Amino acid sequence: MGDIEGSYRVLQTPGTRLGAQFNAGISTLEPGQSLSGNMIGGSKSHGRGLQIRVEGLDDSQEFFDIDPKAFGQGLLSEVFLRGNLIESDYFGLEFQNMQMNWVWLEATKPVAKQVRRPANTLFRLSVKFFPPDPGQLQEEYTRYLFSLQMKRDLMEGRLICTENTGALLASHLVQSEIGDYDDVADRDFLRMNKLLPYQERVQEKIMELHRRHLGQTPAESDFQILEIARKLEMYGVRFHPAADREGTKINLAVSHMGLQVFQGNTKINTFNWSKIRKLSFKRKRFLIKLHPEVHGPHQDTLEFMMASRDQCKIFWKICVEYHSFFRLFDQPQPKSKAIIFTRGSSFRYSGRTQKQLVEYVRENGAKRTPYQRYVFPYTACALFIRKTSYSVVDSPQLSPFQPKGPLCLSPSFQMSTLSLPGPAPSPLQSPILSEVGSNARLEEEEEGRRKRYPTDKAYFIAKEILTTERTYLKDLEVITVWFRSAVIKENAMPEGLMTLLFSNIDPIYEFHRGFLKELDQRLALWEGRSNAHAKGDYQRIGDVMMRNMCALKEFTSYLQKHDEVLTELEKATKRLKKLETVYKEFELQKVCYLPLNTFLLKPIQRLMHYKLILERLCKHYSPTHRDHDDCKEALKEVAEIATQLQSSLIRLENFQKLTELQRDLIGIENLTAPGREFIREGCLYKLTKKGLQQRMFFLFSDMLLYTSKGVTATNQFKVHGQLPLHGMIVEESENEWSVPHCFTIYSAQRTIVVAASSKVEMGKWIEDLNIAIDMAKKSQEKSSIFLGAGLGDHSNRSSDEVSLEQESEDDMNSSRTSLDKQTHHRANTTMHVCWHRNTSVSMSDHSLAVENQLSGYLLRKFKNSNGWQKLWVVFTNFCLFFYKTHQDDFPLASLPLLGYTVSTPEESDSIHKEYVFKLQFKSHVYFFRAESEYTFERWMEVIKSAASTTGRMSLLIPKGGPMEINGN
């Protein structure tokens, strides 16, 4: 199947770790403790040993010999070592207690004191901590084990989802296990393997979906499983039955973000860690003490009744561990032992925090030995089955001459640079985008290609038309192929709207399919992939452009209807619940890598691209060049259409932005009111009684909103204040408050003090605010329509009194929590990037970004690596999206550029290649290499348009005290 790429570990015989000079299991002991002989059984055991049976996530079983007095850590270490498991802290061993409840084996207690009959007990390896996204899992092998946990949860009815979603997950599991679709193999596999409780009902659906995963590697299948699962409400949820004060039966659960309350399978409340001051239990009562500002001083303790004290304590311990693992930077210190007597439980989480684990894996990456997948015969045909180290039963001795498995490449999650404090993992440092094994050959091929292909600037300009056309056609397919399929499948769209939408976009799509073929053929001739280049007849592009720009005129009426299409689609989603659901679910799919309605703007935006590229060609050619006149004529044709649609595009972009914000903001209605224009969005720090608090601000032509990031499943922003622009005054106030880059906003109802991340950012805000205030003053009648809209701040304060209110919000500390990873499916929307990078973006920036879209192959390398890897890169919406090839339907990783700097490499970087540019944000450094001087300049140009040079926030943000967690 070709060379194996990525990061893997070779497993020889089970239990053997190649090249390991240290214990692979990560210690979960308290500081000061050691693994003494009586803790780890095995060779140092004296007397009769215990034989412990452990079931792996692949359902295979192994036996471990431990000392009768061995502690839990001894068994855990043995399992992790034999399993060759690096990211072991995500996992644990669970067993059923006398009440038949699954409980976790504790590391710091003897096994025999936790389990009545250890030799007769089945322990099973399970995922203990579920991170909010699979991108936080560094290893492909870990993601594989997580996908097996999803498989187990599906079968046990824990991962509750619709039958359609269940079938989709099952189809990826089938692809992961047996490879590409084959009718006989699929039926055999599904007959022999139970993946869903209702599998018979949806078997044909599973097979139909499996057919679509052609070419998807096992690693990609694992990633898809985790991507789908993490968006389900029941991902990682483990119910603990309880009752509230009124006796209503509920279920409690704990996750990375805090405590959750369910009624049946419906989540009815979430208490974020930042809201909780103390967790404790007294006999059967489980108590949650909240910070006073959350529910007021008289309602700060919530009480739940559980079946027994033991169940209360079990859940309390899980809460302690979850809080420590996800929220703390360093593992907690052990509680000092009382000399005479103790009160309460001394239980503490004894392992590494997630932050420590991520750093450990990143720092020890070079020490890892590869993990490979092998081809094994399965029933009638050869299928790809991965053997883990637990599969000692029926697992043959692996010979180095056995055939290797398929190309194993794992996608990286978006924006992982934004999740962790300090030197966070790179969004590109994952197996799918890591160094390939044949870098020397790749560089030789690239050098040979450079010498063979044309070097004329006109060729590279023509090539830009081709590469961007490829991306444009893929973007059209998001609507014409993928979205159409979704609405037809669910019968979610009225016939009239279907006709309006697709009768307008289908002809455009068909035209561009033909246009792309023409471009591809012409470039092939130009490059000399046939003999035509010898005559020099086809080293031009103007004739192709002129012919097609003239043909585009026929589609002007279609393009003019896009205003109506966008408006009607938005109205229908508000009116029809089914369509709204399909719309939202579609935006969760990987193929929809931008907000859906953004794709509807692409046809008009593409006209602007043609105009800019043709202008570049005309400028390059001398008037006597034989391609000049055709290019000039083509430019004239497209400029004419673009001029007609310019005002329509401005209106559509504004409407698209308002509808996008409407979906992402909670607490504001009718944001798309007629006449309202979006001006700027960005992060500022607002002065409150608690000090400076991070807020997201949105400036419109009639009002200023400020919000905080919530903890909803989609990570929406919650509106806290709305200030009308009419009568507003803005003044710099650094000296008054002794806060850098600080200014005061005086409005009719409230005065607020905010600080920007830099002087440049402050200047942008003040300038835009003053322009917007002036515009509002000139159109008082129009602005008065909007003053009553949405959520207003009504206060009796005089206008010169500064507001320092104590704000109640969903997540007071969301701006600085260590591991509250975003779960928003569109993490690259500008508001989320602005929030994390402390910057802002204006509507004029958005308009400029539309002009500066670019696609093409680049070579990429990391700061500390040697080789280069070829990737297909798409730049749009202030973000780089990475693909393996231009045929891929969706990006495998992305890199938001706001806050990055772009430059040429320095001497110290030791880059001895031409056309290389350097991208840097804090400690994240990437090098990209273009194929020519022209393409190098173009990438530099567009990236500079998106990357902000403003510095990060330097103010000291006050931190709250640690949360107290006690048990009694």
> What phi and psi, each to the nearest 5 degrees, are found at residue 946?
-100, -30
pTM of the entire predicted model = 0.54
Model pLDDT, residue 826: 53
- Contact between 891 and 425 under an 8 Å Cβ cutoff? The reply is no
Residues with Cβ within 8 Å of residue 691, at least 6 apart in sequence: 957, 958
Measured in whole angstroms, the distance separating CA 205 from the mean position of its chain's CA atoms is 28
CA–CA separation, 919 and 417 (whole Å): 14
Model pLDDT, residue 538: 75
Under-70 pLDDT residues of the chain: 1-48, 293-299, 330-350, 365-454, 529-537, 710-714, 780-828, 948-968
Residues with Cβ within 8 Å of residue 790, at least 6 apart in sequence: 667, 668, 669, 670, 671, 703, 705, 719, 722
The token pair that represents 379 in the structure block: 């029933």
Torsion of CA 221, 222, 227, 230, to 10 degrees: 150
Q: What is the residue-wise DSSP string for 879-936?
A: EEEEESSTT-SS-SEEEE-TT-EEEPPPGGGT---SSEEEEEETTEEEEEE-SSHHHH
Q: How far is CA 580 from CA 587, 714, 828, in A?
A: 11, 15, 21
Q: Map tokens 């991306």 to a residue.
A: 471
pLDDT tens-digit series, residues 504-560: 899 999 999 999 999 998 998 888 754 544 455 678 899 999 999 999 988 888 888
- Contact between 630 and 540 under an 8 Å Cβ cutoff? The reply is yes
Q: How far is CA 213 from CA 155, 406, 437, 597, in A?
A: 22, 14, 26, 26
> What phi and psi, each to the nearest 5 degrees, are found at residue 243?
-140, 150
CA–CA separation, 950 and 901 (whole Å): 9
Model pLDDT, residue 368: 56
Picking from 372, 425, 427, the residue whose alpha carbon sits closest to that of residue 402 is: 372
Model pLDDT, residue 734: 82
User: What length does the chain have?
Assistant: 968
The token pair that represents 659 in the structure block: 């509808």
Model pLDDT, residue 689: 83
Give CB contacts under 8 A, 24+ apart, made by 385-388.
Answer: 385/177, 385/178, 386/144, 386/218, 387/11, 388/11, 388/56, 388/57, 388/58, 388/60, 388/83, 388/141, 388/144, 388/145
CA–CA separation, 135 and 822 (whole Å): 11
- Contact between 519 and 469 under an 8 Å Cβ cutoff? The reply is yes
